[in-house]
Structures are given as structure tokens and as C-alpha cells.
Amino acid sequence: MTTTAVSRPAPESAVDGLDGFTHQYADVNGTRIHYVIGGEGPAVVLVHGFPFTWAVWREVMPLLASRGYTVLASDLRGMGASDPAETGTFAKANVAEDIRQIVQRLELGPINLVGMDVGGMVAYAYASRHPGEVRRLVLSETLIPGFGLEEMMNPATGGAWTFGFHAQVDLATFLTQGKEEAFLSPYYRLTSVRTDAEAFGATHYLPYYTGPLGIRGGFQHYSWMIDDGKANRADFTAKLPMPVLALNGDHGYFREQLLAGVRQVAEQVESDVIPDASHAYGFDNPEATGERFDRFFG
């Protein structure tokens, strides 16, 4: 399979296939962040993970806009069409500040915040440091540093080897650079129930992870996870005051571990699954995802 050459969208340009949505850039918190925005009404902010981009939300975004929301999906620091960032800046609280400054600049708050995978770790950092600015929180297909992530980083106890490998940024980059397609394409197959997932990834995700700094930007988020857990524990003084939904695809990952972590950090907890969906649940079943978000936010 061949990948599409990366082309960063022009500022304020229309998003192909998404009527009413535009590409935007913001110089915030010492870096330049790309985001897509459209719709009108209360804000829903969507935060992706690795090895995805904002486009993992692409199919659910117009459905949310049609239900009366302003929908914003950014590319995380160092990923997608956002700029490469300095190595020492990937603590989840700092990555959350990128998004928070965009929200403040656009006067969108208080927001409904959704994070999946690494983006869920960023969303928790956002909500826990600024609880008055988050109306409702969805943590999905993720683990919370300091509250369940560390146990699942250990392959000896049933955890995933990928956490440790990705965290060795220099080594992981050296071993995968020039082999990004071979390394990442299986992720797109394994994290979706759709037969076109690999082809979609080749078009919308993979091009941004190739080149000198592409995949390194994703790995840098992993290098901070142990420190993120320590910071979350140190900063934990009270449970989250907003309602929190722990959400997974019915073919997704870490459902029990995520729910256990959410119950440690939140007072008002709901849990649910998106049917016919895996890790990339918003891509797999956008209709069910949009409906579940709307019920929770409404």
C-alpha cells in the first residue's frame, strides 16, 4: 500500500468533505497547533491519540454539528499538521494547555471535553487542573496516568509492550524511521472493525508520521507517561466535580482498567460501550458515537 504525500492544509481553508468546517492554526503555549472547527452552539472538544490525527473524529464531527454543537478537533503537539515541538514539552498538563489556550482564545468554555487513547490522558490533565472550565468529560479507550496506566505498561503482568517501546524515543525513532508504513499500518487494522481502516489511515494519518520528525512526535508523548502519573498523583486533592463518561468500543481495549481508574478520580461516573466498534470507535460507528455524546452532553 502506498501513502499519500503529506500536505499541510492552508489556514482558514475548507475541509474537504466536511461542509462548514475549516482548518485553523493557533500559536499557543510556545508552539503552533492545527485544529479543525465547525458548527454552532455549546463546544465539544475532541482530542485524538497515537498513531492518529484529528481525522479519527472526522465522521462524527458533522453529526455533532448537526445536533447543535460547535465542534473542535485539534492535532496534538508534535503530531498531524501541528508543528514539531521541543523534546521537553510533552507533559500531559502542558499538552492540555495548548488546547486550553485555543479554547480561551475562541471563548468556547465551559466545554464538553472528549479524549481517546493518549488524548484521554491529555483530557484528564485538562479537567483535573481546570475543573471549572470543563462541563462534562469523556475518557475513552485510554488509561489515566497515576490511576491505572502504570500497571498496564508492564508486559509481565498482562500490559502492553508498546508503552515501553514508544517511550524510548531515540531508539523507537531509529528503528521505525523509514519503516513507518510497515510499523503503523497494523495499528490501523487492529484498532478498527472497518475493512477500509488501513486505507483510511494511509490517507489521513500515516503521511504525518513519516519524515525526519513525524513519528518522533508521537513517541514523545509516551516518554512522559511515568512523570505524568507522578504529577497526577501529586496534584490530586479532590475528585473531579463534573460528570465523567468512561467509554469504550465493544471491541476496544482496557475497559475494566479505565473504569476502575475513573472511579478513583471522579464523583459522578457513567460507563458505556459503542457497539460494532474498536479502539477508533468514532470512526467505526460515528452514528452511535454522536448519539451517545449528545445524550451525555445534553
pLDDT along the chain (298 residues), means of 10: 70 97 98 98 98 98 98 97 94 98 96 98 98 98 98 90 96 96 97 98 96 91 98 97 98 97 98 98 98 97
pLDDT value at residue 3: 53
pLDDT value at residue 109: 86
pLDDT value at residue 199: 97
Dist CA 77 CA 244 (whole Å): 24
pLDDT value at residue 161: 93
Please give the C-alpha separations between residue 136 and each of 14, 46, 288, in angstroms, as whole numbers.
29, 12, 18
pLDDT value at residue 157: 82
The pTM (predicted TM-score) of the whole model is 0.97
